[in-house]
């Protein structure tokens, strides 16, 4: 395998792991938020806002990885 092939392999694997991690993170976050708003429906609005912010932070980390994968793929 030459360097380009390795870069593509790394990009593909990296994207896969990124999706795995981000999916786990956002899944746990959403389940916790749903549970919380089920227990306290009157706080659902606040919980949703906090959830979106936390989801964006997780997504931000995933996006770092996605940018690195993109850079590897177009190398």
Partner 1 sequence: MASNVSIDSQLLAKSDGYQNIETTEQQALESLHHEPKPEEGGDRGEVFMQLLGKLSDHDAFYFGAYKICDLPKIYYDEGLDVFMNTEQALASGKYLVEEHHGHKQIVKASTGMPPALDLSITNFVLFQWFAIFICAFLFKKVAGAYKKNPGKAPKGLQNAIETVILYVRDEIVRPNIPSRKAADFLLPYFMSLFFFILAMNLLGLIPGAHTPTGAIAVTATLAVTAFFVINITAMKVSGVGAWFHHLLGGAPWWLAFIMVPIEIIGLLVKPFALTIRLFANMTAGHVILLSLLGVLFFFNSVALSPAITAFSLFIYALELLVAFIQAYLFTILTSIFVGLAIGSHGDHEHGHEQHAH
Q: Which residues bind partner 1 (CB under 8 A)?
A: 4, 49, 52-53, 56, 59-60, 63-64, 66-67, 70, 74-75
Minimal distance in Å, beta carbon 12 to partner 1?
13
Q: Which is nearer to partner 1, 29 or 70 (CB)?
A: 70
Nearest CA to 71 among 10, 18, 3?
10
Assess contact for 14 and 8: CB atoms under 8 A.
no
Minimal distance in Å, beta carbon 52 to partner 1?
7
Q: Which is nearer to partner 1, 10 or 66 (CB)?
A: 66
Q: Which is nearer to partner 1, 17 or 64 (CB)?
A: 64
Sign of the dihedral defined by the CA atoms of residues 11, 12, 17, 19, in that order: positive
**What sections of the chain are H helices per DSSP?**
3-39, 44-73
């Amino acid at each position: 395998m030459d360097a380009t092939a390795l870069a593509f392999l790394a990009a593909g694997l990296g994207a896969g792991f990124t999706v795995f991690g981000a999916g786990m993170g956002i899944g746990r976050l959403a389940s916790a938020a749903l549970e919380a708003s089920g227990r306290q429906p009157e706080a659902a609005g606040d919980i949703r806002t906090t959830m979106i912010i936390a989801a964006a932070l997780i997504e931000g980390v995933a996006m770092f990885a996605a940018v690195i994968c993109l850079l590897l793929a177009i190398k």
